[in-house]
Amino acid sequence: MKHELVKIIIVGGGLSGITLAHQLEEKKIDFRIIDEGINHSTKVAAGMINPMTFRRMIKTWKGDELIPTLKEFYPAIEKKIKHKFFFQRKLRRAFNSEHERDLWMERLEENEYDDYLNPPEDKKNTPSHLKAPFGNGFLSTPGYVDAKKFMQYNHDYFIEKGLLEYGKFDFSELDPSSKTYKNEEFSHLIFCEGYKGEDNPYFGYLPFSNAKGEVLTVNSDVFDKNEILNKKCFILPTENGDFKLGATYAWYTQDTSPTEEAKKELLENYNLLSSAPIEVIDHEAGIRPAVADRRPLIGEHPTHKGLYIFNGLGSKGYMIAPYCAIEFVDFLMGKGEIDQEADIQRFYKKHFNKQ
């Protein structure tokens, strides 16, 4: 073990900070969370668990490990905090083109996709409002995490235990050489700041490529409440009875306000998916903490020992976070390594040395 795990401060109480905190608690390691109380990703997300990248019709990074892990992790948290936020859904993909349907058929022949893809649906079982001239098929997915419930219940849980306090982390009060924050000693300071990580004076050298995303909440009495629909955009039925329509991507901005362009884009994409009338009841925007190579950012600062980052969860954070939190805590306990593809050491030569 590099440093004794005696006192951990987590900066950021979004998905990354929350999953990390639960894993530390599981291992009986002391921690506290400081969160600014403003969240622009975890809370806005649709929380969909989608183990496929349809564009190339391949499984997402580490899909075979991430899915079984999250299927245990989230229910275990639900049991602990006595609140439900993880719900089952089926995902129906309407194929974009003949080529996409052919790729789906090819993958069906490969054993490693047995747990994911199902044969295309019969036309007679396809909802009449769905625009699917090239057919459609079901992807087996565990469902979705209700993002607002997830944030609220977990914050309530940690606040009640006295482990979460609201406030902005003040970098002028941090002394990395004596490992103190506001004169209080810590053994590990772990930054889980989401897209704000790019402004972090210690980790801002990492090549963040954050992606703004916008989602609409819509009403409809046509959609099946158990089915996520997906093509160009998605319609996700929530437990409240409404539906999330998402999501857009825009880079190089920290502006978290919803825009008319994104709303227009979402509605145009929706028109390619379904003919069912919808009523827009809400519009939200957030920023995904992402990296150009689409891998997380995990590890210790190259020179300021004791400072760590757990970030870069990208557009599939709800899928990635449980696995990475478990692996990271094992690493902190001296029981394993951080996956090389997620370890920030991959940027040492190209980005840190150039500072």
What does the binding site for ligand FAD look like in residue numbers (CB under 6 A)?
Answer: 11-17, 34-36, 38-42, 44-48, 168-169, 192-196, 213-215, 246-247, 286-289, 311, 313-319
Tell me the closest approach of the beta carbon of residue 350 to ligand FAD, in angstroms.
23
Burial of 237 (0-12, 13-18, 19+ CB in 10 A): buried
Tell me the closest approach of the beta carbon of residue 106 to ligand FAD, in angstroms.
26
| Closest to ligand FAD by CB, 181 or 331 | 181
What's the gap between Cα 320 and its chain centre?
A: 7
Q: Output the six-digit token pair for 160.
A: 């009640």
Tell me the closest approach of the beta carbon of residue 128 to ligand FAD, in angstroms.
27
Dmax over CA atoms of the chain, in Å, equals 69
Tell me the closest approach of the beta carbon of residue 274 to ligand FAD, in angstroms.
18
Spatial CB neighbours of 110, under 8 Å, sequence gap ≥ 6: none
| Closest to ligand FAD by CB, 120 or 143 | 143
| Closest to ligand FAD by CB, 120 or 258 | 258
Tell me the closest approach of the beta carbon of residue 288 to ligand FAD, in angstroms.
4
> Hunting for tokens 């801002």 — which residue is that?
204
Q: Output the six-digit token pair for 339.
A: 């996956």
Nearest to residue 219, comparing CAs of 192, 201, 237?
A: 237
| Closest to ligand FAD by CB, 1 or 292 | 292
| Closest to ligand FAD by CB, 135 or 191 | 191
168-to-157, 165, 193, 307 alpha-carbon distances in Å: 20, 10, 11, 17
| Closest to ligand FAD by CB, 48 or 117 | 48
Strands of the sheet with 180-181, listed across from one edge: 174-175, 180-181, 184-185
Q: Compute how many other C-beta atoms are within 10 angstroms of the C-beta atom of residue 32.
A: 17
- Cα gap 150→147, rounded to integer Å: 5
- Cα gap 112→92, rounded to integer Å: 20
| Closest to ligand FAD by CB, 135 or 215 | 215
Tell me the closest approach of the beta carbon of residue 190 to ligand FAD, in angstroms.
11
| Closest to ligand FAD by CB, 5 or 321 | 321
**Under a CB-based contact definition with an 8 Å cutoff, are residues 195 and 313 in contact?**
no
The amino acid that residue 34 corresponds to is I
Instruction: Give the DSSP H or E segment for 189.
Output: strand 188-191
**Under a CB-based contact definition with an 8 Å cutoff, are residues 15 and 148 in contact?**
no
* Cα angle for residues 98, 102, 103 (degrees, 5° grid): 120
- SS3 for 68? helix
Tell me the closest approach of the beta carbon of residue 143 to ligand FAD, in angstroms.
11
| Closest to ligand FAD by CB, 117 or 189 | 189
Tell me the closest approach of the beta carbon of residue 347 to ligand FAD, in angstroms.
17
Tell me the closest approach of the beta carbon of residue 79 to ligand FAD, in angstroms.
21
